Amino acid sequence: MKAIIFNLLAWIMLPVMDGFAKYLSADMPVLQITWARYFFTVVFTLPVMMIFYRNQLVWTDKPKLQLIRGIILLTANICFFYAISVISLAKALTLAFVAPLIVTAFSPFFLGEKVGVRRWTAVIIGFIGSLVVIRPGFVEINLASFAALGTGIMYGFYLIITRKLSTSDNPLLTLLLTGSVGLVIISILMPFVWVKPTVSQWSMMASIGLFACIGHLFLILSLKYADASKLAPFSYFEIITNILIGYYFFNDFPDNWTFLGLFIIVFSGLYISRREIIIKNT
């Protein structure tokens, strides 16, 4: 029960971060918002790590893989923050939900896992769901929708690398290194895009990092009490928080096609998760 509570709390906190990012995107560059997410996450995370988990922070055996993971997540964050600056939170997140499908599709090549016909079918159906949301040929295609889809693709590869690192590196170290890699890279670009924030904007930028830190810590705590495969279905709770924030603060509500695509993608993801649990237990 503790695992479920911590996991659901994480999926309540992280969409709040997205809400602040979307609000700031009206007046600030996406790259600067991404920088804030990384800078303040590291600022809030580092003291917690050093005070409570210092003895667990043993240096990684796979620095190159950690670097690649950090770059991939940074790219995913930039794509997602750009997407939500143009389209609704719910639509962007729906398209990003293809991440578990990407993990299943590429796990045979990168993780050596066997994927049967049933899961391959679920992957194909899930991608059909993303086409339902984008509706190419029926509505005008915009870059933001592809950026959201790109977020899911990049996040899928991020999860694959996370699985590879989970056998060798402490998850707390991985969280800290990922934030540090993203911060160093995105900081190089700041002199070219920086817009001087107001006091209110500084507070919201800090809030992005704070909610990201709290959300990821809740995820780490949830994984102490249950396997990731068993908690995976609860990640879809994020869309509920996302829709509520989009509706009450941005007057955005998903249309019927987005809901249909969401249902298809979530159903495919849940089926894949269920099959993985069955196969693991047999």
Q: pLDDT tens across 44-79, in order?
A: 888 877 776 667 666 667 788 888 888 998 999 999
Check pLDDT > 80 for residue 257.
yes
> Would you state the pLDDT for residue 227?
65
Lowest mean pLDDT, pick from 27-41, 47-61, 171-185: 47-61
Q: pLDDT tens across 207-216, in order?
A: 998 898 888 7
Find the helix packing angle between 199-225 and 171-193, rounded to 10°: 160
How much is the pTM? 0.88
> Would you state the pLDDT for residue 269?
83
> Would you state the pLDDT for residue 160?
82
The ranges assigned to domains in the chain are 2-281
CA 223 – CA 159 distance, rounded (Å): 15
> Would you state the pLDDT for residue 169?
63
Q: Which residue has the tokens 């906190």?
A: 13
3-state secondary structure 207-268: HHHHHHHHHHHHHHHHHHHCCHHHHHHHHHHHHHHHHHHHHHHHCCCCCHHHHHHHHHHHHH
Confidence tier at 175 by pLDDT (50, 70, 90): confident
Confidence tier at 122 by pLDDT (50, 70, 90): confident
Angle at 217 between CA 64 and CA 71, to 5 degrees: 25
Give the mean pLDDT of 255-272: 86
CA 110 – CA 113 distance, rounded (Å): 8
> Would you state the pLDDT for residue 136?
62
> Would you state the pLDDT for residue 39?
93
Confidence tier at 104 by pLDDT (50, 70, 90): confident
Q: pLDDT tens across 152-174, in order?
A: 999 888 878 877 776 666 667 77
